[in-house]
Structure 1
Amino acid sequence: MRRFFQVIFILSLAGAFAAGCVTVDDGPKVKVDEAVNSRVAAGLQYLQQGSPSEARRHFSRALNLDDDSAVAHNAMALLYKYEQDPTNEEYHYRKALNADRHYSPALNNYGTLLYGRGEYKEALKHFKKAANDPSYEGRGSAWENMGRCYQRLGNSEDARSAYVKALRLNPRSVQPSLALAQLYFDEGRSRLAWDYYQQYVQRTGRQSARALWLGIQLSNSLGYRNQQSSYELALDNLYRRSGEYRQWQQWKAEQAKGAQQ
């Protein structure tokens, strides 16, 4: 959760300042936008630090300054996400997009809410709009989210394309590499899957249970026994209560049974 909000904080803050940099002729409007952006930036910092009450104070003042601010409504939605209040979270995403239907941070964030509810087609529409906004600094995240939607919808080809695009836009992102490794492994293209898996390994500090289980299967299929043993040891030591651990145990039993026949 904390890692998620670190990412959201950066993307939302970038969106807030982008909204405040538009050149307009109305001097008072510029000052209002600047004040709103300042309040939102302060509130996002408090939210990242785990102080929702202080964040709410700043976001509320931003909305008092401009109740039609997409930036402020998006920020308030993030607060409700933090508080696990999806009803009010959705309300403020909708308010943000009513104020500016092209506001990409809200499109991407609302898409994430829809994805979490299993509304993959609707989420995909929002992610596409955000991903195709060349001024949006979070395009890599939006493309990655598109890849997840395509996978859920059973469209592996478009999922691959989306993940590759996500990596081009954000080469340091780790999840697209792991997703591509899984997709290629599922298709029987183990060597290409291994390349993407190694990209993931090099960029992450500690592998997830899902990643270790994939690494075990890839190593086995390619005959990399040392790597397989290393990944098995890590899965055994770190994730004994995981579903991947149980899958590995079942797989080992089947392997042993097959060897005896």
Structure 2
Amino acid sequence: MRRAGVALVLAAAVGLSACSSQSTQVTGGRTSQEALESYTSLGLQYLRAGDTSTAKGPLLRALEIDSDYAPAFNGLALVFQSENEPELAEQYFRKAVDADSQSAMIRNNFGAFLFGEERYQEACHQLSRATEDPFYQQRAQAFENLGRCYRRLERLDAAEHAFNRALTLSRQRPVALIELADIQLIKNQPVQAAILFERFRELVEEKRVDHFALSLWVGVRVARYEGRAGQAATYALLLKNMYPESEEYRLYEESR
């Protein structure tokens, strides 16, 4: 239905959620909980460094201490996702959800994984669950991810609500600004789209974000609405040069 976009953003994988089976026994001068967190954090550090093979060791060590430790399952899921092993990644994501069904971080990560697998109905379910926790530090990101998922299901009203919630929680989420501007243009509300695009453009000028295919296509349409043919041509040229194979460029060509 829509163009291929950038992958959904994963939550900060270093977040460690509580687990009902945690032990407080002291071993080797530190509690087992401290050991669990240390091993899991070490595994995620290796993962961020791109050393997925070494990352597995500390995560498995954490599971030796607590065989039901959700953050370690989540870490292994991310490792296998990075290694392009989707079946194993899903297996460990499900273990993580079973171990801690209330973890918004795990739900967000699992939803992002399912989105990447183009299983949008399932992805939206997981992402919706991630948005339910009012104390989740990445809640704005989860709403943004959810909005993009709803767009793949052609549920524009639900997507609009999710993007608005993301911007309520964090005013400067560039993807939500552009996706919402695009929806306003589809709904023939160019004034609202122009306001949203201007907020995004300010972030670009401040060098906090870069243009991407959809932002340039939105820019073309907003500039046309405002009667700025030169600016529209500039955005179109950038779109052609940077994203010639994108659906946005195809839509631009059809609109000429």
TM-score by length of 2: 0.85
Distance 2:134 2:250 in 1: 44
The equivalent residue for 1:11 is 12
Report the secondary structure of 1:172's partner residue: coil
The equivalent residue for 1:240 is 244
CA contact (8 A) 1:190 1:222 kept: no
Amino acid across the alignment from 2:201: V
Distance 1:216 1:94 in 2: 42
Distance 2:91 2:66 in 1: 17
**Structure having the higher Rg:** 1
**1:159-178 alignment, distance < 5 Å:** 159-178=159-178
Q: CA deviation at 1:25?
A: 8.9
Distance 1:238 1:55, change over 3 A: same
The equivalent residue for 2:3 is none
CA contact (8 A) 1:130 1:139 kept: yes
Q: CA deviation at 1:200?
A: 2.2
Distance 1:103 1:177, change over 3 A: same
Distance 1:189 1:26 in 2: 57
Q: CA deviation at 1:213?
A: 1.8
Distance 1:241 1:142, change over 3 A: closer
Distance 1:242 1:114 in 2: 22
Distance 1:226 1:111, change over 3 A: same
Amino acid across the alignment from 2:240: D
Which has the higher mean CA deviation after the structures are superposed, 222-231 or 46-55? 222-231
Distance 1:121 1:28 in 2: 44
Q: CA deviation at 1:73?
A: 0.2
Q: CA deviation at 1:196?
A: 1.2
Distance 1:4 1:12 in 2: 16
Aligned Cα root-mean-square deviation (Å): 2.6
Distance 1:242 1:121 in 2: 24
**1:48-63 alignment, distance < 5 Å:** 48-63=48-63
Distance 1:186 1:103 in 2: 35
Distance 2:154 2:252 in 1: 25
Distance 1:240 1:120 in 2: 26
Distance 1:144 1:246, change over 3 A: closer
Q: CA deviation at 1:4?
A: 6.9
Amino acid across the alignment from 1:162: A
CA deviation profile, 1:49-102 (whole Å, cap 9, x unmatched):
211122112212112221210010001100011111110101111111111111
Aligned pair count? 244
Report the secondary structure of 2:18's partner residue: helix
Distance 1:158 1:247 in 2: 24
Distance 1:86 1:247, change over 3 A: same
Which structure has greater helix proportion?
Answer: 1
Distance 1:62 1:91 in 2: 17
Distance 2:69 2:61 in 1: 12
TM-score by length of 1: 0.83
Using CA pairs under 8 Å that are at least 6 residues apart, name the structure with larger relative contact order, 1 or 2: 2
Distance 1:26 1:66, change over 3 A: closer
